[in-house]
Amino acid sequence: MLEINSIKELRAVIRSERSKGKKIGFVPTMGYFHGGHLTLMREAKQHADIVVVSIFINPTQFGPGEDLDKYPRDLERDRRLAIGAGVDILFVPSEAEMYPGGYVTYVEVTGITDVLCGKSRPGHFRGVATVVAKLLNIVSPDVALFGKKDWQQLVVIKKMVSDLNMDVEIAGISTVREADGLAMSSRNKYLAPGEREAALVLSKSLRLAHDMVGYGETDPARLAASLEKIIGAEKLVKLEYLDVCDPDSLAPVDKIETDTLIAVAAWVGSTRLIDNTIVRPHLENSGGLV
Amino acid sequence: MLEINSIKELRAVIRSERSKGKKIGFVPTMGYFHGGHLTLMREAKQHADIVVVSIFINPTQFGPGEDLDKYPRDLERDRRLAIGAGVDILFVPSEAEMYPGGYVTYVEVTGITDVLCGKSRPGHFRGVATVVAKLLNIVSPDVALFGKKDWQQLVVIKKMVSDLNMDVEIAGISTVREADGLAMSSRNKYLAPGEREAALVLSKSLRLAHDMVGYGETDPARLAASLEKIIGAEKLVKLEYLDVCDPDSLAPVDKIETDTLIAVAAWVGSTRLIDNTIVRPHLENSGGLV
């Protein structure tokens, strides 16, 4: 595995691979890899000849008071895991390489960034869209892969790529979960044992959503109320939002009559976690979360 | 010359040319070609094998009450001129092709868009940056050429390309002028004969700037006052701004001691015109405007 810190050097390597007809797959990350990241990398290997993974903890997507400084880092471990997942190029740029002095340009995807996580994290998706635009321009992959755990991020990036006519395929990959259902996240590391247990209520509530919709519930308000009730019963968990909305526009739905996104964000102690699922009415409930 | 309306078709043609090792040069325009456009096209031919010219009157860079509706159009004439200038591909997308329903993404270059034309045209450079980002992503040229007459636009685009790591060279080409000095512009068509004569005061004032700096003037305020005085004497012309600033940061300068931008915008009747020049102290005055 090649490890590269310089944009110029990465471009030269990718240009050379592309000239040999190689297809480039790209997985942008903030590092501290878990099973979700590794699934993205292995999936990338299915889609492309050369897999590029970036590790960059992007400061512009963290708000004041958020966990930028304490965000978990372990490059040595990430290297080993990336090699194990068959990654060809690990791109680890410095902040100065990504945002040199005098940096002033931002990409804004409007509207769909005002809801869900965008409500409580103003500027977050501007930071995400900007850094992803930069990384896509640097790597120029044929395909870039993102986890569905960050559903809104995936929607925002797909919209940006489509609106700005960026010539890349964006693939969304199913959330990877721990055996007990907790969606994998680098932030799970923050959880104390009691919190780790309490955090399960999020995936449990999403399973309940599948069950309720499977049994014919079509009213978003009633569904949300039931889910909020079981989350509310968990003392260590403070719900930030639980929204029932269209998976593409992220607009609230009046009735659950087609694929519908149930998205949840909650604080477990001082850790903010998100999770989501797509419920499918009128189809047999698969029982699993996607 | 190929004329193409569809993004998909253009991409296929360019991909095919690139696979033959051809270098792509690109000149984005709003049509109604004048000598400045034709110079850009001929210059592109020097830089590249295949010259792509786009014609798109971009609605998002016009403010309310601006001249979007009356902006001059003559596609038949533009076609003939483009063929004469050796253009290989004329790309003429519709508004629906560029901004399909549900379009929500914008590129903002902050700071340098708040001064000069940005002051009186809020949102203008957001529209420019966004459409140029889209066009660069669609055409994926090796080099894109812009006129220096729109100096701030050139600076904004260079900054966007650098900040977003877009893999394209941006070339600025000297302003082309009528024999009497008026900077060529599609908007010159709006000028009544008396206004056309009055508009000359803009290029005259910039020539005066060269003379004054050539004779040793280093004080921006005194220089600006002299230029404003001769522009003010022209009854049909209403000055919007005359700024003496750094050519890259567009920040006002305290002293003219290196290459300095003199940028002017003025209304001539109901027509808004811009012009600029770079003055070079301590060098022999060339007498010409750049």
pLDDT tens for A161-173 read 999 999 999 999 9
- B207 burial (CB, 10 Å; 0-12 / 13-18 / 19+) is middle
From B183, B134, B135, B129, select the one nearest B160 (Cα to Cα).
B129
Residues of B with CB under 8 A from a CB of A: 7, 11, 103-112, 129-130, 133-134, 137-138, 140, 159-160, 163-167
Q: Which CATH number fits domain B2-173: 3.40.190.290, 3.40.50.620, 3.40.35.10, 3.30.479.30?
A: 3.40.50.620
**Left, alpha or beta for A279 (phi > 0: left; psi -120 to 50: alpha)?**
beta
pLDDT in tens, A200-233: 999 999 999 999 999 999 999 999 999 999 999 9
pLDDT in tens, B47-66: 999 999 999 999 999 999 99
By C-alpha distance, the chain A residue nearest B96 is A163
Phi/psi at A256 (5° precision): -90, 95
Query: From the candidates A138, A163, A249, which should be mutated to test the interface with B, based on the most B CB atoms within 10 A?
Result: A163
Give the dihedral of Cα atoms A210, A213, A215, A221; nearest 10 deg. 120
Place of tokens 């220096």: B148
Using the predicted structure, report yes or no on whether residue B282 has a pLDDT greater than 90: no
Least CB–CB distance from A105: residue in B103, B105, B163: B163
CA gap B215, B285 in Å, rounded: 8
CA gap A27, A54 in Å, rounded: 6
Distance from CA of residue B223 to its chain's centroid?
24
**What percent of chain A is predicted at pLDDT more than 70?**
97
Angle B200-214/B220-232 helices, nearest 10 degrees? 150
Q: What is the mean pLDDT of residues A42-49?
A: 97
By C-alpha distance, the chain B residue nearest A157 is B105
3-class secondary structure, B281: coil
Q: What's the pTM value of the predicted model, to 2 decimals?
A: 0.96
Least CB–CB distance from B137: residue in A109, A130, A165: A165
Residues of A in contact with B103 (CB under 8 A): 163
> What are the domain boundaries of chain A?
2-173, 186-279
CA gap B185, A166 in Å, rounded: 31
* pLDDT band at residue A283 under the 50/70/90 scheme: low
Residues of B in contact with A159 (CB under 8 A): 104-105
C-alpha pair distances (Å), B188 with each of A103, B40, B184, B185, B274: 36, 18, 7, 5, 11
Least CB–CB distance from B108: residue in A108, A160, A167: A108
A243 forms beta bridges with A263
Contact A166 B140 (CB under 8 A): no
Contact A250, A112 (CB under 8 A): yes
Domain B186-279 has CATH 3.30.1300.10: yes
User: What b/e string do you get for B1-12 counting C-beta neighbours within 10 Å, with b at 16 or more?
Assistant: eeebeebeebbe
Same fold across B2-173 and B186-279: no
Check residue A117 and give its pLDDT: 96
Catalytic center residues of A? 37
* pLDDT band at residue B284 under the 50/70/90 scheme: low
Check residue A69 and give its pLDDT: 95
Identity at A254, one-letter amino acid code: D
CA gap B154, B142 in Å, rounded: 17
Contact A104 B163 (CB under 8 A): yes
Identity at B137, one-letter amino acid code: N
Check residue B112 and give its pLDDT: 97
Q: What is the mean pLDDT of residues B157-186?
A: 98
Check residue A106 and give its pLDDT: 98
pLDDT in tens, A24-45: 999 999 999 999 999 999 999 9
Identity at B165, one-letter amino acid code: N
SS3 for chain A, per residue? CEEECCHHHHHHHHHHHHHCCCCEEEEEECCCCCHHHHHHHHHHHHHCCEEEEEECCCHHHCCCCCCCCCCCCCHHHHHHHHHHCCCCEEECCCHHHHCCCCCCEEEEECCCCCCCHHHHCCCHHHHHHHHHHHHHHHHCCCEEEEEHHHHHHHHHHHHHHHHCCCCCEEEEECCCECCCCCECCHHHHHCCHHHHHHCHHHHHHHHHHHHHHHCCCCCHHHHHHHHHHHHHCCCCEEEEEEEEECCCCCCECCCCCCCEEEEEEEEECCEEEEEEEEECCCCCCCCCCC
Contact A61, A30 (CB under 8 A): no
CA gap A6, A8 in Å, rounded: 5
- Name every residue whose Cβ is closer than 8 Å to that of residue A94 and which is 6 or more positions away in sequence: A5
* pLDDT band at residue A284 under the 50/70/90 scheme: low
Using the predicted structure, report yes or no on whether residue B288 has a pLDDT greater than 90: no
Whole-number CA gyration radius for chain A: 19
Using the predicted structure, report yes or no on whether residue A177 has a pLDDT greater than 80: yes
pLDDT in tens, B110-125: 999 999 999 999 999 9
Q: What is the mean pLDDT of residues A236-263?
A: 97
Residues of B in contact with A104 (CB under 8 A): 109-112, 159, 163
* pLDDT band at residue A11 under the 50/70/90 scheme: very high
Check residue B143 and give its pLDDT: 98
**What percent of chain A is predicted at pLDDT more than 90?**
97
By C-alpha distance, the chain A residue nearest B99 is A163
Check residue B283 and give its pLDDT: 54
* pLDDT band at residue B251 under the 50/70/90 scheme: very high
Contact A11 B167 (CB under 8 A): yes
Using the predicted structure, report yes or no on whether residue A290 has a pLDDT greater than 80: no
CA gap A28, A17 in Å, rounded: 19
Residues of A in contact with B109 (CB under 8 A): 104-105
* pLDDT band at residue B192 under the 50/70/90 scheme: very high
By C-alpha distance, the chain A residue nearest B160 is A105
CA gap B92, A94 in Å, rounded: 41
pLDDT in tens, A151-161: 999 999 999 99
- Name every residue whose Cβ is closer than 8 Å to that of residue B80 and which is 6 or more positions away in sequence: none
Tokens representing residue A157 in the block: 């990036």
- Name every residue whose Cβ is closer than 8 Å to that of residue B5 and which is 6 or more positions away in sequence: B91, B92, B93, B94, B97
Contact A105 B129 (CB under 8 A): yes
Report chain A's mean pLDDT, rounded to a whole number. Answer: 96
pLDDT in tens, B80-111: 999 999 999 999 999 999 999 999 999 999 99
* pLDDT band at residue A182 under the 50/70/90 scheme: very high
Catalytic center residues of B? 37
From A208, A188, A207, A205, select the one nearest A196 (Cα to Cα).
A188
User: How many angstroms separate the CA of residue B190 from the nearest CA in chain A?
Assistant: 33
